[in-house]
A = this chain, B = another copy of it.
Amino acid sequence: MSPTQPFNLLYAQAGGVTAVINASAAAVIEAAREHPQAIGTVYGARNGILGVLSETLVDTTPLTPAELAQLALTPGGAFGSCRFDLDPAEANPAQYDRLFEVFASYRIGAFLYNGGNGSMDIVARVAAAARARAYPLCCIGVPKTVDNDLEGTDCSPGFGSAAKYLATAMRESGLDLAAMSSRRGRVFVMEVMGRNAGWLAAATALAARNEDEPPHIVLLPEVAFDEEAFLARVKAVVERLGYCAVTVAEGIRRADGTLVMEQSHDALGHVQLGGAGQCVARLVSARFDYKHHWAIPDYLQRAAGHWRSATDVAQARAVGRAAVAYALAGQDGVMPAIRRLADEPYRWDVQPVRVEEIANLERRVPPHFIAADGLHVTAAAKAALAPLIEGELPVPTHAGLPDYFQLQLAPQPRRLPAWTR
């Protein structure tokens, strides 16, 4: 591309979506429009890198400012997401040839990929391939994950809102649990997302203002599950309060590395796997005959646009805007990361980090955030997580439900031959 002509920008979303990823998308589009001399059209790929490969691109130009504002408050991934890894360039050069045919055909000078650990690997690969081909491309990662497990950033957009939702759910369920009188003890288990990192489980501890409030136990994937210690704590809490609320991350494992999952067989002998929450609830009921309930918020926890953290939304927008600024500055192979400047009052800014340094890594809950007995989190953890759930935002509604945006941009007419996966 000529340096005097504007380049076009391509934005795409990848991995599990969040309540705020569309706020990053809207911020990218808004920021790009502020620089018409440098940036021409903002395209979006449908379903992440798959949409690039298949040349399924939309032109975001028709979106009005009002529509962008509505997009910003809509959960889910409006452009569509994917779980798809690029092959190594040496192993599959044709895949990269195709990517750059698409980039060239649409005069793409900046590629912004909004995702997590794996997506940062794609950013690094595409950046390296562009350099190898001397194709003038700025590849930039935009962070996003409810799991909060991206390295190089103090937190990840998407996490704060999921954390706020789950901490609220624990406080509210705890009030329900506390209301019922029963001579049998009662146990409530909430299973939250987190295969390897227990950030979301840890955040539910924010619901408790003292040790009598739920959750009374927090089980993290970072801690080997000790059934006896867990059951002893449940018993102690039930004997003190009459009930016990437990948060369990879906990925908790025993000391031998096996997942804590209910494994059973159906009538035909097929193995059936229940989740960690169900398994833990059953362990309690088998030992103590307490009444047990379990909740699995599943998608609800990462899509709760009606109850987002204002801090999280601000950070999602900030990384979107920063990514555009980096593209304008020619910063290639970076991700805008949240840097914590102060705890109280919480202050943060955005700084670029190199994607190769963080791709595919997983940031787990550190030891000083985990209680010595492994059954809860520390005050330090709560202090660190507290600001991330702060702030509420108005939710436009229609007929009693959130009035979310539906992206209805038709894909661009195809310029290249069809791609076969």
Interface residues of A (CB under 8 A from B): 13, 16-17, 19, 46-48, 50, 74-78, 80-83, 164, 167-169, 171-182, 188, 206-207, 262-267, 270, 272, 274, 278, 282, 286, 293-300, 302-307, 309, 311, 386, 389-392, 395, 397, 399-402, 404
Question: Which 8 pairs between the two chains have the least Cβ-Cβ distance?
Answer: A76-B175, A77-B179, A295-B298, A47-B181, A389-B400, A172-B303, A264-B264, A173-B299
Q: Once bound together, how far apart are the Cα atoms of A46 and B180, in whole Å? A: 10
Contact A179 B306 (CB under 8 A): no
Inter-chain pairs besides A164-B400, A294-B298, 19 sampled, C-beta below 8 Å? A16-B180, A76-B174, A76-B179, A77-B176, A81-B180, A83-B180, A164-B401, A172-B299, A177-B299, A188-B298, A188-B299, A206-B399, A207-B401, A263-B266, A293-B298, A300-B300, A306-B307, A386-B400, A389-B400
Contact B296 A173 (CB under 8 A): no
Which residue of B16, B295, B305 is within 8 Å of A299 (Cβ)? B295
A278/B267 contact (C-beta < 8 A), A176-B76, A207-B401, A296-B295 known: no
Q: Once bound together, how far apart are the Cα atoms of A51 and B81, in whole Å? A: 54
Q: Once bound together, how far apart are the Cα atoms of A340 and B119, in whole Å? A: 53
Contact A50 B386 (CB under 8 A): no
Q: Once bound together, how far apart are the Cα atoms of A83 and B182, in whole Å? A: 8
Q: Once bound together, how far apart are the Cα atoms of A306 and B300, in whole Å? A: 15
Contact A168 B402 (CB under 8 A): yes
Which residue of B50, B74, B171, B173 is within 8 Å of A402 (Cβ)? B171
A181/B50 contact (C-beta < 8 A), A266-B262, A306-B168 known: yes
- In the assembled complex, 7 residue pairs joining A and B whose CB atoms fall closer than 8 Å, in A order, are A17-B176, A19-B172, A74-B175, A164-B401, A171-B401, A188-B299, A309-B400
Contact A171 B302 (CB under 8 A): no
Residue among A75, A296, A305 with the highest chain B CB neighbour number at 10 A: A296
Q: Once bound together, how far apart are the Cα atoms of A177 and B178, in whole Å? A: 34
Min C-beta distance of A43 to chain B, whole Å: 17
> What chain B residues lie within 8 Å of A311 (beta carbons)?
400
> What chain B residues lie within 8 Å of A282 (beta carbons)?
272
Contact B404 A175 (CB under 8 A): yes
Q: Once bound together, how far apart are the Cα atoms of A205 and B299, in whole Å? A: 18
Q: Once bound together, how far apart are the Cα atoms of A402 and B82, in whole Å? A: 34
Q: Once bound together, how far apart are the Cα atoms of A167 and B19, in whole Å? A: 17
Min C-beta distance of A282 to chain B, whole Å: 7
